[in-house]
Structure 1
Amino acid sequence: MSRKNVLFSGLMLFSLFFGAGNLIFPPLLGLESGDNFGPAITGFLITGVLLPFMAIMAISLSENGLVSIGSRVHKLFGLIFAIIIYMSIGAFYGIPRASNVAYELGVKQIIDVNGSLALFVFSLLFFGVTYFISLNPTKIVDRIGQYLTPILLLVLALLVVRAFIKFENIASPAVGNYVTTPFVKGFVEGYFTMDAVAALAFGIVVINALKDKGAKSKSELVKGTLWAGVIAGLGLAVVYVSLGWIGRVIPKESDFANGAEILTVASGLLFANGGGLLFGVIVTLACLTTCVGLINACARFFTEIYPKLQYRSYVAIFVLIGLVVSNLGLSVILKLAVPLLVFIYPIAIVLVILSLFQHFFGGGKMMYRLSVFVTSIFALYGVLTNVGFKLEVLTGWLGVIPFFEHGLGWILPAFVVALIGYGMDKFRGQLAIE
């Protein structure tokens, strides 16, 4: 396995992660954290970069990827949970969201268009290009790693360098929770990128890309995947800090509702009439690479579990699903998908961390089952409150748990019962290192 192939695989992985959501989170963090930007962005990098890297590690070290990790709870759970991950982060959320965000924040910055017909025409073009790039999985690294990623990085670099030259390095005071707990607030914001779930899907893309480039042994695949993860993580960290810095120093001449508005205004201030075009290109490229990665991951996964249909057929199916769902509109997509993501995300994080723990220290089924069970209770609570149920009594009981108010109340209970389960497995002699 050549260093060149590993480098391009890392650049590809960077582009797969770097979708529109990742583009707009850091500038708002920079704006609101102000003088406390340092601890805030540090917290963000832990959950927005380190956690996805850990997920990539877990996938590379597992014999059968996501399915084998979930199967440590139960074989049926492993298969069902993997299917839910791929369908939620891919077909019914990530893929159509990428198309919609590219239209809303990309195309509409360049061309003054509105209405369902314009969205339909754009989605046809967008998914046509996505289908073409995704059709040949052996070319994924070449098309994304060698071409799309450098273009994306070049456009981002133009924006960041111009901002560094033109904007004064003057930050405004921090606001909200960034005043008292900037690290925790940044940590939570990175958590909500949900990239750890995306990493579980993208891991298979990197592994298969390395196989296509000649990697054969398990150790070669693990090493190549980990180095690709390091390259992608470093790239994400640099871009997140840069975009956050733009939000920190942008002239505060008006109020900003979100990170997209910050970057739109920054592009206009820095490049005048060409600013909208620049920002539109950044968003469209970011969404396109993410969409290609998700379709490739979903098609590869379902080809493995149901090989009667060929890879090309699955690509066509997921492109068609994305085309249909994307035309429902972004607000409908978010309304339908967010509750499901709220449920699966904590469980996915627990499985990733326990999988890495088991690789080094051993583990057994009770460790997984107890931890996933407790986490599922908190995740179900999150879903019910998200869809509008009033659970005052339960909220009062759970509210005493650390970080509960940030939506992270599951962390301490999950890992306490994981240690209890680990002790039970050790007592029974059922620990295994994988």
Structure 2
Amino acid sequence: MNKIKETLVTAFALFSLFFGAGNLILPPLLGFKAGDFWWLVTLGFCISAICIPIMGIFAHARLQGTLYDFGKKVSPKFALVFSLIIYAIAVGLPSPRTASVTHEIAIQPYFDTPYILTSIIYFSLVFVFVMNRSKILDILGKFLTPAIIVILLLIIGITLFSYPMDFGETVFPNPFSAGILEGYQTFDAIGAVVVGGVIIVSINLKNKGDSFAEKRALVRRAGWIAGFALLLIYAGLIFTGTLMHKEFDTDISRTALLNGISIKTLGNTANLFLGILVSLACFTTAVGIVTGTADFIKSRYNDSQKAFTITAIIGCVLGVGMGQFNVDYIIDVALPTLMFIYPITIILIVLNVLPEKYTTPVVFKAVVVTTILFSVPDFMGSIGLGDTISPITEVIPLSGFSMGWVLPAFIAFLTSNMTAKKV
């Protein structure tokens, strides 16, 4: 019975880690545009937003380390640079997006105030909570996720029984890759490598008497349960968006669609309640990101409190600067960055999950370098230089799906392992 309880508690912790409030705005619009290919979009989204992040937790369970340890086999310098880039992205994109989501979900429908005002107040409060490390948010977080899940299940259930199974036509040329790329925007693979270690440490503290194998088994069981729960919610939201394709204008924004779906299924009062819950969940995410980044910089400067404070200030200033823009703009700005860093993150997660005999330092170097090189064309395509590099992308398999790095990385993995065996 204790094992069942431990598994469920750990599964809920993992679910809460990946089920960020910002993620809620992504699946409905995917379904809204997916039409009768909603299932293919769902498959792609779940690979990048569920499978890869859960694998990241499995990697943490094996490494028993931090973000820095993910890239150590490439080189210590690479591991440090990779860590710094990941933390810079975290405070520069997903953290400000939480302020923008809060404005569009909870402020904009009721008050005619600018984004910048919300952003300034929001990150001023974030800074106060970061500097005081209040446990209020941890306690609050335990109630936020269940409450949001209940509302979402109601929305999904009401939609399923109220709307005809009319899917419409897809607007995506490649529904599967569209789902994968939208899954990048959850930032959950990055979340897995950044804060996954916190959950592993918590498990170790609670289960000191258990062996390493028992702890790893616990993480795997919890991971499967959390993954299945995420699949139900994400697939449900995508399907909900699909069924409501006639209810809204085709150019509707992500947050407006979530608001609209909530009002049509639950009414204005429930929508206000959802807005408050999502805003609080966004706030806890922002505090976690800024705190985690400041802790990392602090650790690089001999536990200097000054370094922590300066990093927290920079993180909040960046949040105000970027958080004054609307959600869709921040998502558009994030895409080029994600097209470059996400493949590297995915590869590091996969390599750290595979057996060590297949992932020597030589293999790590070969696969990571190959992934970096072949991510450049996808990155250039995402910033509007697709025509310039089209002669290159035309000969790279899967480049048309913005995944030109996949096959070269796999070939590098096989080749480096074969070479190592011959030596």
Q: What TM bracket, shorter-length normalisation? A: 0.7 to 0.9
Displacement of 1:247:
0.5
Task: Name 2:51's counterpart in structure 1.
Answer: 50
Which residue of the other structure, out of 191, 194, 205, is the alignment partner of 2:198? 205
Question: Which string of whole-angstrom CA distances, capped at 9 and with x for unpartnered residues, describes residues 337-373 of structure 1?
Answer: 55443321111111111222234x5322222212211
In the alignment, residue 242 of structure 1 is paired with which amino acid? Answer: G
Root-mean-square deviation (CA, aligned residues, Å) is: 3.1
In the alignment, residue 424 of structure 1 is paired with which amino acid? Answer: T
In the alignment, residue 252 of structure 1 is paired with which amino acid? Answer: K
| Aligned 8 A contact 2:33 2:172 in 1 | no
Three-state SS of the structure 1 residue aligned to 2:8 is helix
Classify 1:116/1:398 alpha carbon distance in 2 versus 1 (closer, same or farther; 3 Å): closer
| Aligned 8 A contact 1:110 1:276 in 2 | no
Task: Name 1:423's counterpart in structure 2.
Answer: 418
Work out whether 1:413 is the aligned partner of 2:408.
yes
In 2: Cα distance, 1:7 partner to 1:296 partner: 27
Task: Name 2:212's counterpart in structure 1.
Answer: 218
Question: Which string of whole-angstrom CA distances, capped at 9 and with x for unpartnered residues, describes residues 71-107 of structure 1?
Answer: 111122122212222232x222222222232223333
In the alignment, residue 92 of structure 1 is paired with which amino acid? Answer: G
Which residue of the other structure, out of 326, 339, 344, is the alignment partner of 1:347? 344
In 1: Cα distance, 2:260 partner to 2:227 partner: 27
Displacement of 1:157:
2.8
| Aligned 8 A contact 1:100 1:326 in 2 | no
Work out whether 1:41 is the aligned partner of 2:42.
yes
| Aligned 8 A contact 1:13 1:232 in 2 | yes
In the alignment, residue 156 of structure 2 is paired with which amino acid? Answer: V
Alignment of 1:297-308 (within 5 A): 297-302=292-297, 304-308=299-303
Work out whether 1:235 is the aligned partner of 2:232.
no
Task: Name 2:146's counterpart in structure 1.
Answer: 150
Alignment of 1:19-98 (within 5 A): 19-88=20-89, 90-98=90-98
In 1: Cα distance, 2:152 partner to 2:342 partner: 29
In 1: Cα distance, 2:60 partner to 2:304 partner: 24
Displacement of 1:116:
2.8
Classify 1:169/1:313 alpha carbon distance in 2 versus 1 (closer, same or farther; 3 Å): farther
Displacement of 1:408:
0.6
In 2: Cα distance, 1:117 partner to 1:185 partner: 34
Displacement of 1:292:
4.0
Three-state SS of the structure 2 residue aligned to 1:173 is coil
In the alignment, residue 351 of structure 1 is paired with which amino acid? Answer: L
In 1: Cα distance, 2:216 partner to 2:293 partner: 21
Displacement of 1:303:
5.2
Task: Name 1:365's counterpart in structure 2.
Answer: 361
In 2: Cα distance, 1:142 partner to 1:230 partner: 25
Displacement of 1:131:
5.9
> TM-score, normalization: structure 2?
0.85
Displacement of 1:148:
2.5
Task: Name 2:319's counterpart in structure 1.
Answer: 326
Task: Name 2:121's counterpart in structure 1.
Answer: 121
Which residue of the other structure, out of 363, 374, 377, is the alignment partner of 2:373? 377
In 1: Cα distance, 2:5 partner to 2:71 partner: 33
Unaligned 5+ segments in structure 2 are none
In 2: Cα distance, 1:213 partner to 1:107 partner: 40
Classify 1:352/1:299 alpha carbon distance in 2 versus 1 (closer, same or farther; 3 Å): same
In the alignment, residue 358 of structure 1 is paired with which amino acid? Answer: P
Unaligned 5+ segments in structure 1 are 429-434
| Aligned 8 A contact 1:96 1:322 in 2 | no
Task: Name 1:244's counterpart in structure 2.
Answer: 238
In 2: Cα distance, 1:375 partner to 1:151 partner: 40
Three-state SS of the structure 1 residue aligned to 2:35 is helix
Question: Which string of whole-angstrom CA distances, capped at 9 and with x for unpartnered residues, describes residues 17-61 of structure 1?
Answer: 223442122112222222232233123212221111111111221
In 1: Cα distance, 2:9 partner to 2:287 partner: 16
In 2: Cα distance, 1:399 partner to 1:185 partner: 19
Question: Which string of whole-angstrom CA distances, capped at 9 and with x for unpartnered residues, describes residues 108-149 of structure 1?
Answer: 2344432533432243345545666x545xx876553x3222
Between 21-30 and 111-120, report the one with greater CA deviation. Answer: 111-120
Three-state SS of the structure 2 residue aligned to 1:175 is coil
In 2: Cα distance, 1:384 partner to 1:251 partner: 32
Displacement of 1:291:
2.5
Classify 1:157/1:251 alpha carbon distance in 2 versus 1 (closer, same or farther; 3 Å): same
In 2: Cα distance, 1:189 partner to 1:228 partner: 25
In 1: Cα distance, 2:330 partner to 2:315 partner: 11
Three-state SS of the structure 1 residue aligned to 2:267 is helix
Work out whether 1:260 is the aligned partner of 2:245.
no
| Aligned 8 A contact 2:74 2:365 in 1 | yes
| Aligned 8 A contact 1:363 1:425 in 2 | no
In the alignment, residue 147 of structure 1 is paired with which amino acid? Answer: F
In 2: Cα distance, 1:230 partner to 1:354 partner: 20
Task: Name 1:173's counterpart in structure 2.
Answer: 168
Task: Name 1:432's counterpart in structure 2.
Answer: none
